[in-house]
């Protein structure tokens, strides 16, 4: 979302009695909950025109307006944050991003991001005229897995070109709510801003083309483990597409609310979405491909499903 603007949110039935700070933070995923609480304390969040406290319980039919002040641009600071480096050469670094790590600075996340870590790890990284040095794609804060970062301008240009040409191979492991019946399928549905909940994405006729392909890896009583390949890279694409077909990502706080969990559906500590495979061409033309295993928190969810614990 853009800073220096006002955003209008409308609680749905699934948000009934949700705390105001939790509702806003779940709706505006670029803002941390602590930052949202600061906005509420500063009177920059109103419910039907009235300033409320963080613990206020929202109700469907209310209108929540969030005023996000302009960001004070600060120099990017290198930070010694541990990185799991899967591959590195003179041009690129492939990192296995943990869940909880924001990719680049944003309101409420001025420090402690992957960009801050990269500036410490590779001080000469490509700036390419941006305050997001080396970044050519991103993963949501609570999505784990593989990302490639450009160290040089030639790598940055080469990778941007591959993303534009849709030649990058991106594969995810996802736990979807409910039993997905076909063994494989294609979701071809345009994605754009939700016309009602503008802070979210949705399948909409006026959206941009988006294609996701899925194959069932394992079925459980109330969830299905999927391999998903995306041909496009729209914001929240997999989360939106799976919610659109009635099988939202398990643990997704935005497109699959906890209050709508099906009987027997597993609980997950975060959205069960992991970028497990990434393939692209290096600037010299060589094809490379990388794989990442599921992190322990997601393995634990599957173990519980398999043992019936």
Concerning whether 140 is annotated as a catalytic residue, the answer is yes
Provide the percentage of residues in the chain whose pLDDT is more than 90: 58
Tokens of 93: 């670094």
**pLDDT greater than 90 at residue 10:** no
**pLDDT greater than 80 at residue 259:** no
**pLDDT greater than 60 at residue 168:** yes
Residue 7 banded pLDDT, cuts 50, 70, 90: confident
pLDDT for the residue numbered 2: 47
**Which residue ranges form the domains of the chain, and what is each CATH number?**
5-68 (3.10.290.10), 72-165 (3.30.2350.10), 171-275+299-307 (3.30.2350.10)
From the list 215, 224, 227, the residue with the least C-alpha distance to 183 is 215
**pLDDT greater than 70 at residue 131:** no
Catalytic entry in 15, 21, 96, 140: 140
- Residues 209 and 232: beta-carbon distance below 8 Å: yes
Question: How do residues 74-93 score in pLDDT, each as one tens digit?
Answer: 577 889 999 999 999 999 99
CA–CA separation, 139 and 102 (whole Å): 8
Q: What is the model's pTM?
A: 0.76
**pLDDT greater than 70 at residue 128:** no
- Residues 138 and 160: beta-carbon distance below 8 Å: no
The CA-atom distances, in angstroms, between 65 and each of 5, 10, 51, 122, 198 are 10, 9, 10, 41, 12
């Amino acid at each position: 979302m853009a800073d220096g603007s006002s955003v209008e949110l409308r609680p749905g039935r699934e948000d009934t009695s949700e705390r105001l700070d939790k509702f806003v933070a779940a709706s505006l995923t670029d803002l941390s909950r602590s930052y949202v609480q600061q906005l509420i304390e500063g009177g920059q969040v109103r419910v039907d025109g009235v300033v409320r406290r963080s613990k206020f319980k929202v109700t469907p039919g209310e209108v929540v307006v969030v005023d996000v002040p302009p960001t004070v641009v600060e120099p990017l600071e290198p930070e010694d944050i541990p990185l799991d480096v899967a591959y590195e050469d003179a041009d690129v670094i492939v990192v296995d991003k943990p869940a909880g790590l924001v990719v680049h600075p944003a309101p409420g996340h001025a420090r402690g991001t992957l960009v801050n870590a990269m500036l410490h790890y590779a001080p000469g990284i490509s700036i390419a005229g941006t305050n997001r040095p080396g970044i050519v794609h991103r993963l949501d804060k609570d999505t784990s897995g593989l990302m490639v970062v450009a160290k040089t301008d030639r790598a940055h240009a080469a990778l941007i070109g591959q993303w534009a040409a849709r030649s990058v191979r991106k594969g995810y492991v996802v736990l979807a709510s409910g039993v997905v019946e076909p063994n494989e399928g294609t979701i071809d549905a345009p994605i754009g801003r939700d016309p009602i909940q503008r802070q979210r994405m949705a399948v909409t006729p006026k959206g941009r083309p988006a294609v996701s392909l899925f194959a069932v890896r394992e079925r459980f009583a109330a969830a299905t483990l999927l391999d998903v390949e995306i041909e496009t890279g729209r914001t929240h694409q997999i989360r939106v597409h799976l919610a659109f077909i009635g099988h939202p990502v398990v643990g997704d706080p935005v497109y699959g609310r906890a209050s709508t969990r099906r009987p027997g559906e597993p609980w997950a500590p975060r959205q069960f979405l992991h970028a497990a495979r990434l393939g692209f061409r290096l600037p010299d033309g060589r094809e490379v491909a990388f794989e990442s295993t599921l992190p322990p928190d997601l393995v634990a969810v599957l173990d519980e499903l398999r043992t019936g614990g």
